[in-house]
Structure 1
Amino acid sequence: MVDFHKSWSGQLHAVATLMDEMQALGHHVVLACRSDSLFVEMGRQRGWNVWPALYLIGGFRPRKRLADLFRLCRYIVRNDFDLIHVNGSQDHWLAAFAIRLTRRKMALVRTRHNTKKVANTWSNRLLNQRWTDLQITACELLIKDYQNHPAFLKKTLVSIHQGVYLDRTRTDAAHRSRLRASLGFSESDCVLGISARVHPDKGHRYLLDAMAALNRPDLKLLVIGDGPGLQIMQAYAADIGVASRVHFAGYVDDVGTLLQIVDIGIQPSVGIETSCLAIKEIMALQKPVIVSDYGGLPEIVNHEVEGLVVSHGSAQALARAIGRLADDRHAAAMMGRAGRRRVEDQFTARLCAIRTLNAYRLALTQIRPPNNRLPGGPGELLAASRLPTTAE
Structure 2
Amino acid sequence: MSRPIRVLHIIGGGEIGGAEIHILDLARHFSPQEVELRLCCLFPAPLLQRAQKQGILATAVPMRSKVDLIGFWKVLRLIRQTQPAIVHTHGVRANLIGRLAAKVAGVRCTVTTVHSVLANDYPDQLSRWINFWSEKLTAALTERYIVVADFLKKNLCEQGIAPAKITVIHNGVDDEKYTNVQDKRDLRAELGIAADAPLVGMVGRFHPVKGHKYLIEAAKEILKINSNVRFLLVGDGFHRDVIETVIREEGLESCFLFTGFREDIADIYRTLDVLALPSLSEGLSLTLMESMLCECPAVVTAVGGNPEIVINEKNGLVVPSGDALALAAALVRLIENREEARKFGEAARRTIEERFTARRMAERTQNLYRELVKDQ
Give TM-score scaled by structure 2 length: 0.86
Q: Distance in 2 between matches of 1:122 and 1:289?
A: 36
Q: Name whichever of 215-224 and 249-258 sits farther off.
A: 249-258
1:196 to 204, 213, 217: 204
2:147 aligned partner: 137
Residue ranges of structure 2 left out of the alignment (5+ in a row): 1-10, 120-127
Q: Is the 8 A contact 2:218 2:325 kept in 1?
A: yes
Once the 2 structures are TM-superposed, how far is the Cα of residue 329 of structure 1 from its aligned partner?
A: 1.0
Q: Distance in 2 between matches of 1:88 and 1:231?
A: 25
Once the 2 structures are TM-superposed, how far is the Cα of residue 171 of structure 1 from its aligned partner?
A: 6.4
Once the 2 structures are TM-superposed, how far is the Cα of residue 111 of structure 1 from its aligned partner?
A: 0.6
Q: Which amino acid aligns with 1:112?
A: V
Q: Distance in 2 between matches of 1:299 and 1:238?
A: 36
Structure number with the bigger relative contact order (C-alpha 8 A, sep ≥ 6) is: 1
Matched, 1:254 2:260: no
Assess, with a 3 A threshold, how the Cα gap between structure 1 residues 355 and 183 changes in structure 2: closer, same or farther.
same
2:78 aligned partner: 72
Matched, 1:110 2:112: yes
2:7 aligned partner: none
Q: Name whichever of 5-14 and 278-287 sits farther off.
A: 5-14
2:330 aligned partner: 321
Aligned partner of residue 260 in structure 1, secondary structure? helix
Once the 2 structures are TM-superposed, how far is the Cα of residue 219 of structure 1 from its aligned partner?
A: 1.6
Once the 2 structures are TM-superposed, how far is the Cα of residue 4 of structure 1 from its aligned partner?
A: 5.4
Q: Name whichever of 178-187 and 281-290 sits farther off.
A: 178-187
Q: Name whichever of 329-338 and 239-248 sits farther off.
A: 239-248
1:298 to 307, 313, 316: 307
2:369 to 355, 360, 369: 360
2:46 aligned partner: 38
2:65 aligned partner: 58
2:354 aligned partner: 345
2:236 to 226, 232, 243: 226
Once the 2 structures are TM-superposed, how far is the Cα of residue 356 of structure 1 from its aligned partner?
A: 1.4
Q: Name whichever of 275-284 and 57-66 sits farther off.
A: 57-66
Assess, with a 3 A threshold, how the Cα gap between structure 1 residues 112 and 304 changes in structure 2: closer, same or farther.
same
Deviations along 1:7-58, whole A, 9 cap, x unmatched? 3212211111112212556521111224723343323322222233x34441
Once the 2 structures are TM-superposed, how far is the Cα of residue 283 of structure 1 from its aligned partner?
A: 0.6
Q: Which amino acid aligns with 1:114?
A: S
Matched, 1:242 2:252: yes
Once the 2 structures are TM-superposed, how far is the Cα of residue 124 of structure 1 from its aligned partner?
A: 4.6
Q: Distance in 2 between matches of 1:35 and 1:149?
A: 29
Q: Distance in 2 between matches of 1:244 and 1:299?
A: 35
Once the 2 structures are TM-superposed, how far is the Cα of residue 126 of structure 1 from its aligned partner?
A: 5.6
Once the 2 structures are TM-superposed, how far is the Cα of residue 83 of structure 1 from its aligned partner?
A: 1.2
Once the 2 structures are TM-superposed, how far is the Cα of residue 66 of structure 1 from its aligned partner?
A: 3.1
Assess, with a 3 A threshold, how the Cα gap between structure 1 residues 299 and 25 changes in structure 2: closer, same or farther.
farther
Residue ranges of structure 1 left out of the alignment (5+ in a row): 369-392
Q: Distance in 2 between matches of 1:293 and 1:178?
A: 34
Assess, with a 3 A threshold, how the Cα gap between structure 1 residues 41 and 293 changes in structure 2: closer, same or farther.
same
Q: Distance in 2 between matches of 1:63 and 1:256?
A: 41
Assess, with a 3 A threshold, how the Cα gap between structure 1 residues 102 and 172 changes in structure 2: closer, same or farther.
closer
Deviations along 1:191-234, whole A, 9 cap, x unmatched? 11110111211111111111111211232111001112212222
Assess, with a 3 A threshold, how the Cα gap between structure 1 residues 158 and 20 changes in structure 2: closer, same or farther.
same
1:91 aligned partner: 94
Q: Name whichever of 260-269 and 83-92 sits farther off.
A: 83-92
Once the 2 structures are TM-superposed, how far is the Cα of residue 350 of structure 1 from its aligned partner?
A: 0.3
Q: Distance in 2 between matches of 1:325 and 1:122?
A: 44
Once the 2 structures are TM-superposed, how far is the Cα of residue 362 of structure 1 from its aligned partner?
A: 4.2
Matched, 1:168 2:177: yes
Deviations along 1:137-177, whole A, 9 cap, x unmatched? 12211111111322x1111112223221212223646x321
Assess, with a 3 A threshold, how the Cα gap between structure 1 residues 247 and 103 changes in structure 2: closer, same or farther.
closer
Once the 2 structures are TM-superposed, how far is the Cα of residue 6 of structure 1 from its aligned partner?
A: 3.9
Assess, with a 3 A threshold, how the Cα gap between structure 1 residues 35 and 282 changes in structure 2: closer, same or farther.
closer
Once the 2 structures are TM-superposed, how far is the Cα of residue 353 of structure 1 from its aligned partner?
A: 0.6
Q: Distance in 2 between matches of 1:184 and 1:125?
A: 50
2:221 to 209, 213, 226: 213
1:100 aligned partner: 103
Q: Name whichever of 319-328 and 248-257 sits farther off.
A: 248-257
Aligned residues: 355
Q: Is the 8 A contact 1:203 1:269 kept in 2?
A: yes
Assess, with a 3 A threshold, how the Cα gap between structure 1 residues 341 and 146 changes in structure 2: closer, same or farther.
same
Q: Distance in 2 between matches of 1:94 and 1:332?
A: 46
Give TM-score scaled by structure 1 length: 0.83
Q: Is the 8 A contact 1:166 1:348 kept in 2?
A: yes
Q: Name whichever of 353-362 and 21-30 sits farther off.
A: 21-30
Assess, with a 3 A threshold, how the Cα gap between structure 1 residues 121 and 20 changes in structure 2: closer, same or farther.
closer
1:374 aligned partner: none
Q: Distance in 2 between matches of 1:26 and 1:218?
A: 53
Aligned partner of residue 13 in structure 2, secondary structure? helix
Q: Is the 8 A contact 1:23 1:29 kept in 2?
A: no
1:153 aligned partner: 162
Once the 2 structures are TM-superposed, how far is the Cα of residue 180 of structure 1 from its aligned partner?
A: 0.6
